[in-house]
Amino acid sequence: MGKYENEHQLTSPNSKRALERMRAICSRLPETEEKIDGFGHTAFQVRGKSFVLMGENHEDGTCNVSLKASKTTQEILLQQEGTAFFKTPYIGQHGWVSVRAEEATPWEEVASVALEGYCLAAPKRLAAQVQSSAR
């Protein structure tokens, strides 16, 4: 994992809890780095390609976690009744989904989508390594 020198981008207690959860999920994935992207989002990347983006609404302290996903996964998540997921603004057409980070967030499902996003972003060798260890 990369250094966390820009942690101040996510400042609310809720955002900090969500960041710690995402660090725990992403730290198990090889060559993952945490960076602040050009838009001020906390990004988890593999070889410079983002697979998780986190942003905070500084007015109310809410935090959204956006996840790279296949379009099929995105469609399944969005069609679930009572889903917490929504199409990510601006990049949703590429399969990205988002979820508001709060107590009721389905973190196991978030972890599963983050794993898929990692495998989509990672070089084939790293993706194969992660997929074989997940079995």
Q: pLDDT at position 7, please?
A: 46
- pLDDT (tens digit, 9 = 90+) per residue, 82-105? 899 999 999 999 999 999 998 889
pLDDT above 50: residue 108: yes
Phi then psi dihedrals of residue 45, to 5 deg: -130, 155
Phi-psi region of 108 (alpha: psi -120 to 50; beta: other; left: phi over 0): alpha
* Amino acid at position 36, single letter: I
Q: pLDDT at position 30, please?
A: 96
Strands ordered across the beta sheet of 85-87: 32-36, 42-46, 49-56, 63-67, 97-101, 85-87
Handedness of CA 81, 54, 95, 31 (dihedral sign): negative
Q: pLDDT at position 57, please?
A: 86
Fold (CATH) for 7-129:
Aspartate Aminotransferase, domain 1 (3.90.1150)
Q: pTM for this one?
A: 0.91
CA distances for 125 relative to 2, 14, 34, 119, 122, angstroms? 21, 35, 21, 10, 8
- pLDDT (tens digit, 9 = 90+) per residue, 22-59? 999 999 999 999 999 888 899 999 999 999 999 998 78
Q: What is the DSSP letter of 88?
A: P
Q: pLDDT at position 104, please?
A: 85
For 130, the token pair is 């992660």
Tell me the pLDDT of the chain averaged across its residues: 91
Q: pLDDT at position 8, please?
A: 52
> Residues in the chain, how many?
135
